[in-house]
Structure 1
Amino acid sequence: MALGNRYKTAPGAGTLAAFVLVLVFGSPWYSDWVDDNTDPETAGGWWLRLLSWPRWRFDASDSLRDVIVGDLKAILLVVLTALFLYLLPGSQLARARGTISQFFAGWAAYIFAGGFAALLATLFLSNPSLLSAFRAAGAGAGYGLFVGWIVGLASLGGWRGTR
């Protein structure tokens, strides 16, 4: 028996899409590849580099604090996406599965999550400033704007979570 959309919730599917985006495109392997093999002055190169925005890294020589703070942006992006997908009313109040409100709720959740994740992660860095926090939030929201449609598509067609 196939487990189709019958068991898919909109927030769950959107969170899974965000997790996969961060896991794959934020990985050190993808980040190194995109830096070495793309031209940021072309649309394709810009897009591929944008996908790697929530970069995460881990190294055995790093302390646990350095790993957590360094990867906080990627962790918060997934956690806040899940939170905003549950809080935004589009996916919960939609009368029918697959409505456009689910798509926009997923997209908006990723924009908000990107902005807030960058803002909060910047505050944990050494010598944070309000200007650097604002710049980071703008970069995170920009990432969410151009990549969040993927999360919106993933949440499209899911159940509201309760029947």
Structure 2
Amino acid sequence: MAVTTAGRVRTAPGVAVLAALLLVLLFGNPAYVDWQSRHAGNDAWGFILKTLAWPSWSFSSTQSLQTVLANDIKAILLIVFTGIFVAALVGARGALSGFFAGWGGYIFAAALAGFLAAFIQVDASLLGAFGWASLGAVYGLFVGWIVGLATLAARA
């Protein structure tokens, strides 16, 4: 669904991709990831801080090249899959359908991005891919409401 405002066209998938990009840039960057690893406690707030850092990316790291590449691809796939899944889910009508399309699309996007990127890791396995997918789904569940709100706003 496209909405024309002041000569610009906003679509729900486009706004969802923008929100996903901002989340990845703000909370997946090396500075935030390092900060949360030093400050996140073993409580509910620490869980949220760690979850926000799930789509971590880096251009240089002490980790292996495959791990850095897998994390970078995971962050990119999250953004791309967000657009795909939100576009597939946004067709429903209703007051809150945009919110749930954005939120659900982000959950699916994070799980699939984690699953596919896990196969680039050193010693990749199906069990490891399931683990990455489950972490992605948890990330989408706790952070995806932000994408849902952005998608809802685009439809309004």
- Cα distance in 1 for residues equivalent to 2:110 and 2:151: 17
Deviation at 1:9, TM superposition (A): 1.6
Q: Secondary structure at the match of 1:57?
A: coil
Which residues in structure 2 correspond to 1:63-78 (within 5 Å)?
Answer: 67-78=68-79
Contact 1:7 1:159 in 2 (8 A): no
When normalised by structure 1's length, the TM-score is: 0.83
Contact 2:66 2:122 in 1 (8 A): no
Deviation at 1:65, TM superposition (A): 6.9
**Residues 50 and 82 (structure 1 numbering): CA distance in 2 closer, same or farther, change over 3 Å?**
same
When normalised by structure 2's length, the TM-score is: 0.86
Q: Does 1:150 align with 2:146?
A: yes
* Identity over aligned pairs, percent: 48
**Residues 65 and 136 (structure 1 numbering): CA distance in 2 closer, same or farther, change over 3 Å?**
closer
Unaligned runs of 5+ in 1: none
**Residues 30 and 61 (structure 1 numbering): CA distance in 2 closer, same or farther, change over 3 Å?**
closer
Deviation at 1:63, TM superposition (A): 9.7
- Of 87, 104, 113, which residue of structure 2 is paired with 1:108? 104
Q: Secondary structure at the match of 1:8?
A: strand
Unaligned runs of 5+ in 2: none
Q: Does 1:131 align with 2:119?
A: no
Q: Does 1:16 align with 2:18?
A: yes
Deviation at 1:62, TM superposition (A): 9.3
Which residues in structure 2 correspond to 1:39-78 (within 5 Å)?
Answer: 39=41, 41-59=42-60, 67-78=68-79
Q: Secondary structure at the match of 2:91?
A: helix
Larger strand fraction of residues? 2
Corresponding letter in the other structure for 1:92: G
Q: What is the aligned residue count?
A: 151
- Cα distance in 1 for residues equivalent to 2:101 and 2:67: 33
Deviation at 1:48, TM superposition (A): 1.0
Deviation at 1:86, TM superposition (A): 1.1
- Cα distance in 2 for residues equivalent to 1:137 and 1:60: 23
- Cα distance in 1 for residues equivalent to 2:61 and 2:124: 26
